[in-house]
Amino acid sequence: LAMHALLIVTVSLTLVTATAQSENDATREDVYPPLWDLAPGNLLDFPVKNNKIDINAWDYLQRLGMYKIMLNSTIKYFATFGSKNFGNVLWGLPLQHGWQFRTGILADPSNVTTCGYEDGDLQCVSVRSWWSCMNYYLSALPFLGAVEAGLFGQLQYEIELLPPEEQRADFCYSVADCRSRIPKLMDEWKAYFEVNIFFSIPATFSFHLDDALQFLWRAHVSSIAYALPKFHNSLKYLSDAEANFGEDWANGVDFIAATHFSTDLLNTNNFQAFLPQRMLVEGEGLPPISDFSPQQNRVLLSLRVLHKANQLTG
Q: What is the pLDDT of residues 20-61, one digit of tens each?
A: 444 445 446 689 999 999 999 999 999 999 999 999 999 999
The partner residues of 115 in beta bridges, in order of sequence, read: 121
pLDDT score of 197: 77
Q: What mean pLDDT is predicted for residues 271-288?
A: 93
Residue 128 scores a pLDDT above 60 = yes
Give the CA distances from residue 59 to residues 29, 103, 175, in Å, rounded to whole numbers and listed in that order.
22, 16, 20
Q: What mean pLDDT is predicted for residues 158-175?
A: 98
pLDDT score of 21: 47
Residue (of 116, 20, 13) closest to 63 by Cα position: 116
Predicted model pTM: 0.92
Pairwise CA distance, residues 277 & 115, whole Å: 20
Quick: pLDDT tens for 185-213: 999 999 999 988 765 555 445 557 898 99
Quick: pLDDT tens for 250-266: 999 999 999 999 999 99
Residue 11 scores a pLDDT above 80 = no
Sorted by where each begins, the domain ranges of the chain are 36-313
What contacts 215, CB < 8 A, 6 or more positions away? 188, 191, 192, 195
- Which stretch of 9-18, 234-243, 245-254, 293-302 has the lowest confidence by average pLDDT? 9-18
Q: Give the confidence band of 67 by pLDDT, cuts at 50, 70, 90.
A: very high
